[in-house]
Structure 1
Amino acid sequence: MLTRRRLLKGAAMTGLAAVATHLPLPAFAAGRTLKIGFVTPTTGPLAIFAEPDGFVLDQVRAALAEGLDIGGTRYPVEIIVKDSQSSSNRASSVAQELILEHEVDILCASATPDTTNPVADQAEINGVPCITNDTPWQPHFFGRGGDPAKGFDYTYHFFWGLEDIIAVFMSQWEGVATNKVVGAMWPNDPDGNGWSHPERGFPPVMQKAGFTLVDPGRYQNGSDDFSAQIQAFKQAGVEIVSGVMIPPDFTTFWTQAAQQGFAPKVVNVAKASEFPQAMAALGPRAEALSVEVWWHRNFPYASSLTGQSCAALADAYSAATGKPWTMPLGAKHALFEVVIDALKRAEDLDDADSIAAAIKATKLGTVFGPVDWSNGPVPNVSKTPLAGGQWRLEAGQPVLDIVTNPGRPEIALTAAPRPIA
């Protein structure tokens, strides 16, 4: 599809700018509307990641109510939201709609590789700047065929990596006396395949640290019977369970573990154990479950957009919605912090390369931590803080403590690791 931006850019490149001026195209008026496309799993099994979206969008739109002042010109800003329906195919399709039909100036997406990877792929193919987060950087970068020697031209990502969660999980495992036998629950999806990677994932690091891995193989998301995995864990004497599971799958697994008499001392399951809603549904079975903590009300950061501390943002969310804060709240808020900061610094808002250059030059303190693409482990990646947490029940409600902080001394601990009773 030939957009105004692509036509003028192509005309300049081929020496036909004079011809372009005679075509019946809208003029680039000062203060034109800037369009931000946002893809998120509003529905489907990943919808819990999108629960804070409405609140965050209300905050961002309120902050931009008078437009965005760039170089003395005030630009109205429109945020166009598309539901991925928790499907990678759907995420790709709606990203195309945002690019080709809505002609967005910049794309953003969040919540697992099922969302971020296809959106970033479409942005890269079509030459549209894109910012993503809430996917470990290896499944995002390498899952898209990224080459560390080259990187990408238009797509930038900020989140922690598998090396960080491995360090966090192991710090929690080592805080409890166990036989160091670990059972893995890794699904057949980009996350599961990344975490189980024989070179870049958990297995080689676990072996080097003296842990024994029991890996029954990849399972399909949406499975309703985990008896085979549970029996394999019982036979091998597994005392630690680690994995990355969507909430419905973990609820099934943990319920069947109780029914079949499997009682590990430590359980670290990413995705599923990240949400107080999912933990509340487990009742007493949520006590002492462990999880990586990628955002917390006690983190020592503040928003560049609203000035709110992490605690203030969490409190505002709970007051407005009546719901407990969740980790994606900080991630989504920071996503728009970075998008807006990049637009404000772009030298030419009608040039995708100029916006991409502004993203690349980002050095911003956000409510999610510092974002800086000049020092990433690979091009186009900026790492963010990660700590280790553990759930406890207080008056029947799940409360997340911070129990380990490897490599992040600025994050204060609130409790010590303990085994599942």
Structure 2
Amino acid sequence: MSLLRPKLTRIVNGGRAHRVRLVGRDSRSTAEGARQAVRELVADEGAHIVVTLAGTQVLPAVADACEEAGVPCVSSTFPWQVYYYGRGADDAAPFRFTYHFCWGLDTIAETFADLWELAGGRGRTVGCLWNGGPQGSWSRDVRRGFAPVARARGHHLVDPHPYAEPATDLTGHVTAFAEAGADIVTSAATGRDLALFRATADERGAAPRLITCSRWLAYPPSGATGGRQPAQAHVATLVYWTPAHPYRSSLDGTSAAELADAYEQTTGRQWLQPLGLAYALYEVAAHALRTADDPTDPAAVADAVGRSCLETVAGRLDWRTGPVPNVATVPLVGGQWQPGHRHDYELAVVNNPQVDGLAVDADLLVGRGRGVGR
């Protein structure tokens, strides 16, 4: 927010200038904290639009609270099927005030299938390290999930019993994958649970050749512990934003590279994938306030989001074309956390069939493993 505050002091709508204030509330990473944060933003701050970049429990709670309060909300970093259908919408009854931009479970499956095939051709046997929560349940969903898309690509999925987070013993999963000959594992695990799985597989001599994981991989690997490498090291993942993406901000033309550099200069920390989406949230909010028939009317601001097609630092966001009302999509490419030059680990782009102007900058690293895939 500190990078944006000087650029968003006012908006002009219909020739009239309106003062802008950026205010925030802490959700405390709980659903109830998220609902309370929305209540305070609306009642105490008079928020005209709310933006959020949150996780499994918090994001739906923020969006639902905004929908109930009749306040526009724009969110990201949550597969759109979970956001839309998981909150109770359907094609005949979309949301009125809440909007989202992100990739889908289907896109994750296509991106990972590309990586599996890059590692060993079509028809792989893939172990599924999926929990019993929303990530696992939606990954398995037979209509809108990850699994049907991966199977349609010709891959065989081995899905043992769901585990509860935080996991305490993943021996059963390691054994099931080894017995099925799964030399590739896909996951939506937390970093902690992924580390437990890798340690268990290593101890049993059943390390997979490749792991793809869609959760917690947006952030650089932390330092090794207990002599082991970080859980994310050499794990392949989805890539939705990097400094090399050929995108610019609609606010002032800032490029993805310039945004990442400003973040690193300001914080002293390595750039993060969610940075581009977080910045774009404010771009969408400003665009909606500038183009709404009445920027003081919540319904008009929500309508403005719904008809937006905007080039942002996270790419083109187009709510006019779906895939469903309230949702704009973000393309994905394949990446992997590999040892870097400027940082211990850097997110390399290893496969890109989707984003023009983004170079593949590394080969996919695949271990020898012990399993034998089909």
TM-score (norm 1): 0.81
Measure how far apart 1:400 and its partner are. Answer: 1.4
Contact 2:66-2:97 at 8 Å conserved across structures: yes
Per-residue Cα deviation, 1:256-280 (whole angstroms, up to 9, x for no partner): 3323322101101112222114476
Q: Matched residues in 1 for 2:260 and 2:159: separation?
A: 37
Q: What code does the residue aligned with 2:367 have? A: I
SS of match in other structure, 1:68: strand
Counterpart of 2:355 (choices 397, 408, 419) is 408
What residue in structure 1 maps to residue 206 of structure 2?
262
SS in structure 1 opposite 2:85?
helix
CA distance in 2, matches of 1:312, 1:383: 23
The equivalent residue for 2:371 is: none
CA distances 1:185-219 after superposition (whole Å, capped 9, x unpaired) = 22233232211212211222222222111112322
Per the alignment, residue 304 of structure 2 pairs with: 358
Distance 1:419 1:175 in 2: 10
| Alpha-carbon separation, structure 2, partners of 1:252 and 1:87 | 25
1:147 corresponds in structure 2 to 90
Letter of the 2:148 counterpart: P
**Cα offset for 1:106?**
0.9
Who is 1:299 aligned against? 245
Asked whether 1:216 is paired with 2:163, we answer: no
Deviations 1:283-338 (A, max 9, x none): 37654310000111111111112321111111111122111111111110111111
Partner of 1:387: 333
TM-score (ref. length: structure 2): 0.91
Indicate if the aligned counterparts of 1:266 and 1:289 stay in contact, CA closer than 8 A: yes
- Give per-residue Cα distances to partners, 1:42-72, cap 9 Å, x unaligned: xxxxxxxxxxxxxxx001112124x333344
| C-alpha contact (below 8 Å) 2:105/2:145 kept by paired residues | yes
How far does residue 347 in structure 1 lie from its aligned partner after superposition?
2.1
Q: Which residue of 2 aligns with 1:173?
A: 116
- Provide structure 1 residue ranges, at least 5 long, that are not aligned to the other structure: 1-56
Q: Separation in 1 of the partners of 2:189 and 2:39?
A: 28
Find the aligned partners of 1:410 and 1:162 in 2 and give their Cα distance. Answer: 24
Check if 1:136 corresponds to 2:79.
yes
Q: Distance in 1 between matches of 2:362 and 2:87?
A: 38
Distance 1:86 1:261, change over 3 A: farther
Match of 2:31 in 1: 88
Q: Once superposed, what is the RMSD of the aligned Cα atoms?
A: 2.1
Q: Which has the larger radius of gyration?
A: 1
Distance 2:27 2:221 in 1: 22
Check 1:124–1:289 CA distance in 2 against 1; reply closer, same or farther (3 A cut).
same
CA distance, structure 1, for counterparts of residue 174 and residue 290 of structure 2:
52
Quote the Cα distance in structure 1 between the aligned partners of 2:109 and 2:76: 19
1:338 aligns with 2:338: no
Asked whether the equivalents of residues 167 and 406 of structure 1 are also in contact (C-alpha less than 8 Å), the reply is no
How big is the shift at 1:102?
3.2
For 1:228-377, list aligned pairs within 5 A.
Answer: 228-278=172-222, 283=229, 286-377=232-323
Q: Cα–Cα, structure 1 residues 220 and 98, in superposed 2: closer, same or farther, change >3 Å?
A: farther
Matched residue, 1:16: none
Q: Which amino acid aligns with 1:125?
A: E
Distance 1:279 1:308, change over 3 A: farther
Q: What amino acid is aligned across from residue 256 of structure 1 in structure 2?
A: T
**Higher RCO (CA-CA < 8 Å; seq separation 6+):** 2
Matched residues, percent identical? Answer: 35
Deviations 1:144-186 (A, max 9, x none): 0111123111111111111111111000000012771111122
1:116 aligns with 2:62: no
- Structure 2 residue runs of 5 or longer lacking an equivalent are 369-374
Query: What displacement does 1:343 show?
Result: 0.9
CA separation in 2, counterparts of 1:279 and 1:419? 21
Structure 1 stretch displaced more, 329-338 or 399-408: 399-408
Partner residue in 1 for 2:17:
74
Aligned residue pairs, count: 364
Q: What amino acid does structure 2 have at the position aligned with 1:185?
A: L
Asked if 2 retains the 8 angstrom alpha-carbon contact of 1:389 and 1:403, the reply is yes
AA aligned opposite 1:227: T
Instruction: Decide whether the 8 Å contact of 2:319 with 2:325 is kept in 1.
Output: yes
Equivalent residues of 2:110, 2:149 under 8 A apart: no
Q: Is the 8 A contact 1:288 1:420 kept in 2?
A: no
